[in-house]
Amino acid sequence: MNDLKKISETAITILSAILMASSLASCDVSSTAPQQSLLPTASETAEDEPSETITDPLAPETEVFDYLIQYQNSIPVLPLDYDTTQVVLSCDDGFSISVPIITIDSGMYPVYESGSNSSLNTAFISIPDSNHRKYIVWNMHKIYMVDFYLATLITLLPENDGNITYDHALSTNDANGLYWGTKPILSTDGKYLLYLTNRRDNGKTNDMRIYDLVTGEDQLLLKDAFYTDAYISADTVFFTCNNRLMRIEISSKVLGTVSNDISVNGSFSYPYYIYTKEYCHTYNIINILSLGEAEGSAGTSSAALSISTNIFNSICAVTILDKTEVSMLFLDLSSNNVIRTYNIDVPFRVLYKQWVDENRFLISGYEDATGNEKTYIFSY
Amino acid sequence: MRTQQVMKRHIYSPTKQITNTVLLILVLLSQILSVSSASDQYARSFIQNVSDNMSIQALSPYKNKDGLEYWPLCTSKNNQPRNVSGTNPHQGTDLTINVGELIYPIYDGEIVYMDTDISSQTGYILVRSDIGIGEYAYIEYMHIVPISGLSVGQYVYTSIPIATIDDYLRYDSHLHIGRVNETRDIHFQIYDLFADCVNWTNGSDLDVFSYPSYNEETAEFSIYAYISSDTENPEFYGGYGRFRLKYITLFYSVNGNAWQHTDIADCDPNYKYTFNIQEKTNAVKGDTIEYYITGTRDNESSYDTSFNDASYTVAYYPAYYSHPDAVLSGEKADAIALTIKISK
């Protein structure tokens, strides 16, 4: 009986690993491998990118799942069941995490369970070149580094900042919470970690600081400042704050303005910043290196746009919402050309939308009439 | 006081009469003002109307751009007595979210009111949503900077941000969120919107009282009641905690008789108070019990120290009045009392 159970468990593990591996390997648009046996309609993806705008009904370039899925670190995290290992790690300051992880090849992928993990308040940020073993995680107050291979959880930032200590800042904090380190943003090369802190001035002001993960140097980047979103290039931090798009050189700390007139519901895709100009159907693209600007529009005047850039290339996904009418388009930021347009043919409400990899974009939600949860994956 | 004044009026003296008249006018004025103040104190500010047929659960107002939801700590619950000069008990829920963070509507819906003036850090958006309960849900977001270009009448979506958290000016940066009526002067409980959210203890972290339950078979009554405080706690990595109430008090009237009360201090580790209401009230089969409950926040706590020496300490279930005294007069009690009929 036990043997049977073992064999069965091993088979499930192998099957899961194969499915995961095939899922991870499917970055290529020409990949035709089915992602999961659970999929009702796994279909082939487009082979070539048409340069002109095409309005298609859903099939055949989209995959349709019949329930909600979120992706993290290329892993669909909910509600699929995987052979996971529960990892419990504690830091010496008392903070602990309990998180299920999936092991694929030598990579170890944490699974984020939205709404159910009380110890976390963040997605895990994978540290480049760590073979998916090291991650950044934060808990509203501090920033930690998790190493699933070594089974360690450590505070990443020094607990002293000159005369200011964490304990002292906590006891003198008059604000609605001490953020010793919050809102971490990692550079794409994994060298820099940008973060926000209100450790100074009894918590009434925020500073932008940058931590060098290679040298451990922690330096003040900008005093009395904050950001809504940021992108770190090799030597410059670009960030948005209220209606401004700013840049600051890391070495010299020289601050400059890229634009004084943006809305912050935008997204970076270096060297582009794209945002909706009036929340609704118009959008702007700023090339933050050349300062060139381009405008465009999508949907109707009553539509709202949500723009998702990706870190791999200049293609962004624009989700167009007009109450329960949902469509999306792939836009090439470098040329401001629409590559492909899709319409969801039933009234739909969007809950999640994100890039799965450099070619596939996911929209997840439920049908308005039936309440049935459904996930679409689009490819350009 | 009033007796003394009447006695003095028997001493005749023109000067004194004038003085007394002025005094009388002043007293009357002060009484009118006092009545007016009491009236405000007992103006209706809360409604307890839980929807158990909610087909759409709310999402977190705080998430990353992919839609992964974060669950920020609550530092002041709806209906929570607090040590501040603002509404007391708190009309709404405060979530600790730092400056500049994006805020998303918790339901799709239409903007029906906005205040884009952020000079007092009171930027405000009210979104009306159909959440399948037969009436609109109005959700307010305050201490925010609305996304430029948004306007009343615009439809907004849970997957697109509507605002960012405003910078410190008069208040610490945070999100104030609440469910209100159309005219924004009455606040609903909010826990039922998040009944599926484990992180906020199924929404209990957001309201002082939540999930009342009565078992007719056993006459057992239970309710969750606790504080989510902004007290810093250096021994806790997060700096915050959930705190026990000093006690809850059951106020009851059996078959319309005089109101009585009894304190209940014991609760389970999840802050659930459970008691046999028949035993507590000495009611028998067929009796009708009118009741309401207060929770008293400990203003001498060695843990929840930011509340120490606070003068106002009570929260009511059902929440109703804006700033009620710790004990209600019969009329005020009758207006809010709930009813249980003992059947066994």
Please report which confidence band the pLDDT of residue A248 belongs to, taking 50, 70 and 90 as the band edges.
very high
Strand ranges (DSSP E) for A74-186? 75-78, 85-90, 96-104, 107-110, 125-126, 134-138, 143-147, 152-155, 160-161, 164-165, 182-186
Q: Is residue A66 part of a domain?
A: no
**pLDDT score for B123:** 98
Per-residue pLDDT averaged across A23-27, rounded? 33
Q: Is residue A276 part of a domain?
A: yes
Q: State which residue of chain A sits closest to B167, comparing Cα positions.
A: A205
Q: Which residue among B102, B148, B155 sits closest to A304, beta carbon to beta carbon? A: B155
Q: Could you tell me which residues come within 8 angstroms of residue B292 by beta carbon, excluding any fewer than 6 positions away?
A: B251, B316, B317, B318, B328, B333, B336, B337, B338
Within chain A, residue ranges assigned H as helices are: 2-24, 166-172
Judging contacts by C-beta atoms under 8 Å, the chain A residues touching residue B156 are 304
Residue of A38 and B81 predicted with greater confidence: B81
A167: helix, strand or coil: helix
**pLDDT score for A62:** 86
Best probe of the A interface among B130, B169, B173, by most A CBs < 10 A, is B173
A286: helix, strand or coil: strand
Nearest CA to CA, how far is B74 from chain A (Å)? 10
In terms of domains, do A312 and A378 share one? yes
Q: Do B172 and A278 touch (CB under 8 A)?
A: no
**pLDDT score for A169:** 87
Quote the tokens at residue B33.
């003002």
Is some CB atom of chain A closer than 8 A to the CB atom of B72?
yes
8 Å CB contact between A142 and A93 = yes
Please report which confidence band the pLDDT of residue A166 belongs to, taking 50, 70 and 90 as the band edges.
confident
Please report which confidence band the pLDDT of residue A15 belongs to, taking 50, 70 and 90 as the band edges.
very low
In terms of domains, do A93 and A121 share one? yes
In terms of domains, do A52 and A130 share one? no
Per residue in A101-148, pLDDT (tens digit) is: 889 888 998 887 655 555 556 678 899 999 999 999 988 789 999 999
Quick one: what percent of chain A has pLDDT higher than 90? 56
In terms of domains, do A134 and A94 share one? yes
Strand partners, A96: A90
Write down which residue in A243, A264, A285 finishes a domain. Answer: A264
pLDDT of A36 > 80? The answer is: no
Q: Which residue among A112, A176, A349 sits closest to B230, beta carbon to beta carbon? A: A176
Every domain of chain B and the residues it spans = 44-199, 208-341
8 Å CB contact between A358 and A27 = yes
**pLDDT score for A339:** 95
Nearest CA to CA, how far is A227 from chain B (Å)? 6
Lowest mean pLDDT among A3-7, A117-121, A179-183, B320-324: A3-7
Question: Is residue B115 packed enough to be buried (19+ CB in 10 Å), middle (13-18) or exposed (0-12)?
Answer: middle
Virtual CA dihedral for B81, B86, B91, B96, nearest 10 degrees?
Answer: -80
**pLDDT score for A337:** 96
Q: Is residue A17 part of a domain?
A: no
> What range does the domain containing A277 cover?
26-56+267-380
Q: Is residue A256 part of a domain?
A: yes
pLDDT of A288 > 90? The answer is: yes
Tell me the CATH number at A203.
Answer: 2.120.10.60
Give the pLDDT of chain B (344 residues) as one tens digit per residue: 332 322 222 223 344 444 455 555 554 554 444 434 555 899 999 999 988 777 788 999 998 877 788 888 898 999 999 998 889 999 999 998 889 999 999 999 999 999 999 999 999 999 999 998 889 999 999 999 999 889 999 999 999 999 999 999 988 899 999 999 999 999 999 999 999 888 889 999 999 999 999 999 999 999 999 999 877 665 655 556 789 999 999 999 999 999 999 999 999 999 999 999 999 999 999 999 999 999 999 999 988 888 999 999 999 999 999 999 999 999 999 999 999 999 98
Residue of A111 and A328 predicted with greater confidence: A328
In terms of domains, do A181 and A109 share one? no
Per-residue pLDDT averaged across A282-287, rounded? 96
Per-residue pLDDT averaged across A347-358, rounded? 92
Q: By C-alpha distance, which of B29, B178, B201, B175 is closest to B97?
A: B175
Cα–Cα separations (whole angstroms), residue A268 to A230, B66, B272: 7, 13, 47
Q: Do A94 and B72 touch (CB under 8 A)?
A: no
8 Å CB contact between B177 and B139 = yes
Per residue in A58-110, pLDDT (tens digit) is: 555 788 988 888 787 777 776 666 788 989 999 998 888 888 888 988 899 88
**pLDDT score for B39:** 56
- CA angle A104–A105–A111, rounded 5-degree value: 20
In terms of domains, do A275 and A258 share one? no
Mean pLDDT estimate for chain B: 87
pTM of the predicted structure, to 2 decimals: 0.86
- Report how many helices (DSSP H) and strands (DSSP E) chain B contains, helices first: 4, 22
Residue of A295 and A15 predicted with greater confidence: A295
Q: By C-alpha distance, which of B177, B70, B187 is closest to B127?
A: B177
pLDDT of A56 > 60? The answer is: no
Is some CB atom of chain A closer than 8 A to the CB atom of B15?
no
Q: State which residue of chain A sits closest to B67, comparing Cα positions.
A: A352
CATH fold for the domain made of B44-199: Glucose Permease (Domain IIA) (2.70.70)
pLDDT of A282 > 60? The answer is: yes
Quote the tokens at residue B182.
């159309």
In terms of domains, do A186 and A277 share one? no
Is some CB atom of chain B closer than 8 A to the CB atom of A284?
no
Write down which residue in A156, A185, A203 finishes a domain. Answer: A156
Quote the tokens at residue B270.
């999840």
In terms of domains, do A124 and A207 share one? no
Per residue in B12-39, pLDDT (tens digit) is: 334 444 445 555 555 455 444 443 455 5
Per-residue pLDDT averaged across A150-173, rounded? 88
Strand partners, A315: A332
Is some CB atom of chain A closer than 8 A to the CB atom of B239?
yes
> DSSP string of A229-264?
EEEE-SSEEEEEETTEEEEEETTT--EEEEES---S
Write down which residue in A99, A123, A156 finishes a domain. Answer: A156
Nearest CA to CA, how far is A352 from chain B (Å)? 5
Is some CB atom of chain B closer than 8 A to the CB atom of A163?
no
pLDDT of A40 > 90? The answer is: no
pLDDT of A314 > 80? The answer is: yes
Tell me the CATH number at A39.
Answer: 2.40.128
Q: What is the DSSP letter of A45?
A: P
In terms of domains, do A279 and A379 share one? yes
Q: Is residue A309 part of a domain?
A: yes
Mean pLDDT estimate for chain A: 82
Within chain B, residue ranges assigned H as helices are: 2-8, 14-41, 277-281, 330-336
Is some CB atom of chain B closer than 8 A to the CB atom of A178?
yes
Q: Do A319 and B159 touch (CB under 8 A)?
A: yes
Interface of A with B in 56-115 (CB under 8 A): 70-72, 91, 93-95, 112, 114-115
Q: Could you tell me which residues come within 8 angstroms of residue B221 by beta carbon, excluding any fewer than 6 positions away?
A: B212, B213, B214, B215, B274, B275, B276, B277, B340
Q: Is residue A18 part of a domain?
A: no
In terms of domains, do A127 and A184 share one? no
**pLDDT score for A113:** 64
C-alpha B243/C-alpha B303 separation (Å) is 8
Per-residue pLDDT averaged across A176-187, rounded? 89
ipTM greater than 0.85, yes or no? Answer: no
Handedness of CA A237, A239, A244, A245 (dihedral sign): positive
Cα–Cα separations (whole angstroms), residue B329 to B80, B116, B258: 21, 42, 11
Count: domains in chain A: 3
**pLDDT score for A279:** 84
- CA angle A154–A157–A162, rounded 5-degree value: 140
Quick one: what percent of chain A has pLDDT higher than 70? 81
**pLDDT score for A24:** 34
